[in-house]
Amino acid sequence: MHRLRLTVYAACLALAAAWTSLGGDGLQAAQGAKVRVGYINNVQSAALVQLKSLSQEENLDIELVPFTRYPDVQKALAVDSVDVGVIAPNGLPAAIAQGDRNVVAIMDLVYGGNSMVARNGVQINAFSDLKGKRIGLAEGGISWMMFMMLLEQHKLPYTDIKALNFTAATDAVNALKHGDMDVVDLWEPFVSQAVASGYGQVTPVVNYRETALAGMNGLLAASRTFSHSHEDALVATFKLVLKAEKQLEADQQLWISLVRGYSNLDDATIKSALAGIRYGGPQLSLSKLDAVAAFIFKVGMVRNDVTGKLGENVNARFLARAEGKNEGEVLK
């Protein structure tokens, strides 16, 4: 009988330990979970790169997976090649409108970093001065989306500009340098590089903060599979993302050193690129994603209007848990 009591007692201790490792809520444990994080080789992604240094605080195994474009990260999320990653805010509504619901938006990542750069000697003193100008754009990208929004706001028809599509920012910068373009739409660090090299100047009249996206150019998302099967690990990851954001915003030298580690940029260029960038903090902007959904349907980019129909593909539950708040406090 004594031996039986000891056996039962030992079993109870084991169950209690298991319950503790689950956080007491019956969900799967984050302990030792592997999380594949897709990031872009830009200055904004430094918060994601910092996850590697912080991973032991949540006992996570963080694998960093580099990409060069937001659409590539979104595709990787959709096919479960990565678990968490940064995507363009316009990418998710566009995918959902086309019936693809394999990616879940979790949190705003970053605002700022997109600008129009005018070639030296080209005067752009008002938005209307863009009329007739040769403008280099990255069609389909987030900068292009916000520029399209501004064209509509200022009632300047797309046909009134001479638009040329560039698939690479370096090609757009070279076109500006050689005088083939009057204005090019760029993002950091290419904005700072173009200005520092003397090819042109930022055009303040093109202000992406005036759009419905308010200059948001990065959104953190998760694969649908990972969000369903590893909720605790996902919550733990976002706790670290929020901590990394605060660290970088409080310590610019740390931010610069991280970017230097995965780019070929010099410190002066990185510092300049950081000037107009801020992290989003603990919020998820459903209203902004709905605004994108409404816009892409209005201008005919997609056939289906999914405004107000993004559903579980914009899920504030994970961020709310990471912050210890209710969903209404983080959903904007």
34 phi and psi angles, rounded to 5 deg: -90, 130
Task: Count Cα neighbours of 223 within 13 Å in the Cβ-side half-sphere.
Answer: 20
Cα torsion through 214, 218, 219, 223, rounded to 10: 160
In the predicted model, residues of the chain with pLDDT beneath 70 are: 1-31
Give the pLDDT confidence score for residue 247 in this predicted structure.
Answer: 98
d(CA 175, CA 177): 5
Question: Do the beta carbons of residue 269 and residue 192 sit within 8 Å?
Answer: yes
d(CA 266, CA 256): 9
Give the pLDDT confidence score for residue 31 in this predicted structure.
Answer: 64
Report the percent of the chain where pLDDT is more than 70.
91
Name the DSSP letter for residue 99. T
Q: How far is CA 202 from the centre of its chain?
A: 23
Three-class secondary structure of residue 215 per DSSP:
coil
Residue-range domains of the chain with CATH: 27-112+215-330 (3.40.190.10), 114-210 (3.40.190.10)
Q: What is the pLDDT of residues 154-172, one digit of tens each?
A: 999 999 999 999 999 999 9
Q: What is the pLDDT of residues 283-332, one digit of tens each?
A: 999 999 999 999 999 989 999 999 999 999 999 999 999 999 999 999 99
Q: Which of 325, 249, 243, 225 is nearest to 284 (CA)?
A: 325
Three-class secondary structure of residue 114 per DSSP:
strand
Give the pLDDT confidence score for residue 209 in this predicted structure.
Answer: 96
Q: What is the pLDDT of residues 99-122, one digit of tens each?
A: 999 999 999 999 999 999 999 999
Q: Of how many residues is the chain composed?
A: 332
Residue 39 neighbours by CB under 8 Å, 6+ apart: 45, 48, 49, 64, 65, 66, 67, 73, 85, 86
Number of H helices and E strands in the chain, helices first, is 15, 11
Name the DSSP letter for residue 157. -
Give the pLDDT confidence score for residue 30 in this predicted structure.
Answer: 55
d(CA 46, CA 274): 11
CA distances from 136 to 3, 63, 86 (A): 80, 35, 24
Query: Could you tell me the strand order of the sheet in which 162-165 lies?
Result: 162-165, 134-137, 183-187, 114-119, 200-202
Give the pLDDT confidence score for residue 66 in this predicted structure.
Answer: 96
